[in-house]
Amino acid sequence: MSWPTPQDYNEAIQNPHLNFADEELRLGVAEVNALGLPQASTGAFASAYRIKCPERDVAVRCFLQSVSDQQDRYKALAATMRGIETPLFVEFEYLEKGIRVSGTWHPIVKMTWVDGQTLDAFIRQNKDDKEKLLSIAESFKLACGHLQQMGIAHGDLQHGNIMVQDDSLRLIDYDGMFVSSLTGFASNELGHPNFQHPGRSNSLFDASMDNFSSWVIYQSLVAIAYEPSLIEKLRGCEECLLCRHIDFAHPARSAAFHILEASESDSVRECGRKLRSLCQLSPDAIPSLTAGAELSEPEPLDANVNYSDLLSLVACYERFEADHGGDLDSSVELNLTASGFPTIRQYTHALSSPKDCFADQELQASLPIRRGQNIWRQLGKESIVFGVRSKRDEYAVKCFLGDDQTRAERYQQFAEYYKNKMPWRLKKHFLRFEYQPQGIKVAHKWYPIVKMEWMAAYRLDDYIASTPHSKHLAYALLGQWREMMHELTKAGISHGNLEPGNIFIHEGRLRLVDYDTAYAPGMTDTHYEPLSFPNVDMVHPRTSRKIGPKSDHFSSWIVDTALVAWCTDPALFKIQENRRGRLLFRSTDLTQPADSKMFALLFHNNNEELHNRAQLLYRFLYMEPDAIPPLQAQAMPLLPAEVIHEHRLRKLQVGGRTAAMVLSVVSIMVLATLPYGSIMALVPIIALILTIQSILAERRKNSEGKE
């Protein structure tokens, strides 16, 4: 039996009198959003709805996947809850015969609706009220102690499962909860990764499994109370409070911990040290928040940490352009001085003496490309790219802002594959490049670079935003995208970071840049330590930083969906906030699809392919990333009749101009052999010139606005 999707539940819940077995729910009405659709809050395992019943409001949790012992777990929870009195939990009931979807009954959990704010919303609203945040922090600490005394663990303590109601805390979502009668069971979920120890596994299922997440929440509340600006610095309260899974997995290299422990506040620095110390323990060795245990001093922070994380947070996510000149240098120089890699200012200064800084002979004779008085450069999350002009050609030089232990090996393996084994039909989508381990010398020390061919081209997001819409152009790009992804998948190649800034349109052809995470046959599937956050608008919410043949699967569907929308309903691109690096979806659309306005619009779009694509992406968001099929697995639609007709007209125009050129050349050759032929040949010569001018004018028009 296939399990219902959020969309299936949305449709069923619109008719409560037909699809609920519970009498109270049958008389209720689902709360709806601005589009008149049921308002759902969707997590990894369930969609929750607010049902307004005659006497009270009720929350209904509809499960997105089957758990074999789910009923036994909820029976044990209900039996335990009846024997305790605590305001932390709300009344609930597990209904095996809960909701009917497509004629089949599925279980639900019915509980009293909690009017209040989620913890992250409460923090954002009160971030400047130190006393209120500290009060909530202490209330949370007392609640954790109460749970410990009762031998209960929630299993998924996070911002979305903690409600603040009249300055009191309530816990919701009991799917992964532990009570003593469940001893011997395994955990059926691992909780939100941004609140859990990276080493947590299903075997940890006892009263101690909340210990790490309770420390994370308490210390984050205290840190924000003393330094509210941390929310902006660390993009806090966005699927986290302050720190993320990557910070817990690599605490010594985490930019977040560097920022916390560099604070002027003693309390904030202490919060960072405590969390970092806990990351060094095994999950089952984490003491409870209320135990009063003395924590050991954490290992020293890595002095060679890559601060591009800081750049990603402060600059890249705020549309900061690299060409801001001295403003950018001054804003990041202070934070980069402790890095083991050169600063942006140092790289820029080195380029002014190419003969001394480059090992490559051709680059030694180059000059930096300038825009006005400033050297052209493009800031990325983990690197900065400069343009240089040699005697023979122009190149882009990529300089790295931090270390990656496996980068050299990956680049060398991919370069070898590109040079000797990549099919010729795929090479047209990549740039010629060369990884140089000793590429640029800064302050008497060598650092790696990537030397690659230069191209003046559109980024995909800029292309869509600035190019006048044409169905022919849009469908041509869509077809080329699908052909390219099909060929890459067939060859076992993945790019690893498909985002608009790495997808370019150059002379009508799709090109991919940035091969830091590229994979080719013969390379080893491996996890790597990312130096910055990925583009969260393009990746699966549960994506792992793994290089392998399936790395592109989800992102390729996201790009393809955007291109389908551009073909059929370009007005959809005006719905979202216009930000560079984003196509159709925002990260919140992917993490909370049931609340997404974009998904709602796609579900109710008149175009059948967009409607079907929305359903497909919905399913993907509740699958593991490795289980998502490649783009080629979907049957590709045919071009609309009007596009085919337009394409034939364009072919006739091109064919007509080609025929005119051939006829002109032949006429010139024939007439030149006749008496007075040179004079008579003027007519075909003029025709030839006019035809060439027409072709050149069209090419100039098509290339306007290219970067």
- Per residue in 4-34, is it b (16+ CB within 10 Å) or e — as a string? bbbbbbbbbbeebeebbebeebeebebeeee
Which pair of structure tokens corresponds to residue 154?
A: 């929630």
> Do the domains 127-285 and 458-633 sit in the same CATH topology, yes or no?
yes
- Domain boundaries defined on the chain: 6-71+91-112, 127-285, 340-453, 458-633, 641-703
Specify the pTM.
0.56
Dump pLDDT digits (tens) for 519-540. Answer: 999 887 776 655 555 777 888 8
Inform me whether the pLDDT recorded for 657 exceeds 70. Answer: no
- Per residue in 531-542, is it b (16+ CB within 10 Å) or e — as a string? bbbbbbbbbbbe
What's 13's DSSP letter?
T
**CB-based contacts of 148: which residues, under 8 Å, 6+ apart?**
207, 288, 290
Based on the number of CB atoms within 10 Å of its own CB, is 629 exposed (0-12), middle (13-18) or buried (19 or more)?
middle
- Residue 34 CA from chain centroid, whole number: 26
Contact 106, 66 (CB under 8 A): no
Based on the number of CB atoms within 10 Å of its own CB, is 327 exposed (0-12), middle (13-18) or buried (19 or more)?
exposed
The β-bridge partners of 164 are 117, 169
Inform me whether the pLDDT recorded for 180 exceeds 50. Answer: yes
CATH topology of domain 458-633: Transferase(Phosphotransferase); domain 1 (1.10.510)
Which pair of structure tokens corresponds to residue 493?
A: 């190649």
Cα–Cα dist 373/382, whole Å: 25
Phi-psi region of 513 (alpha: psi -120 to 50; beta: other; left: phi over 0): beta
For 127-285, give the CATH class: mainly alpha
Query: What's the pLDDT at 645?
Result: 47
Dump pLDDT digits (tens) for 278-294. Answer: 998 999 899 999 887 78
238-245 mean pLDDT: 86
- Name the more confident of 609 and 644: 609
CA contacts within 13 A on the Cβ side of 521: 9
- Per residue in 218-234, is it b (16+ CB within 10 Å) or e — as a string? bbbbbbbbbbbebbebb
- Name the more confident of 489 and 339: 489
Give the confidence band of 84 by pLDDT, cuts at 50, 70, 90: confident
> Coil, helix or strand for 169?
strand
Cα–Cα dist 565/369, whole Å: 37
> Coil, helix or strand for 662?
helix
Cα–Cα dist 271/243, whole Å: 11
Inform me whether the pLDDT recorded for 320 exceeds 80. Answer: no
50-74 mean pLDDT: 87
Query: What's the pLDDT at 60?
Result: 93
Inform me whether the pLDDT recorded for 409 exceeds 80. Answer: yes
Inform me whether the pLDDT recorded for 659 exceeds 70. Answer: no
The CATH number of domain 340-453 is 3.30.70: no
Cα–Cα dist 672/682, whole Å: 10
Query: What's the pLDDT at 56?
Result: 92
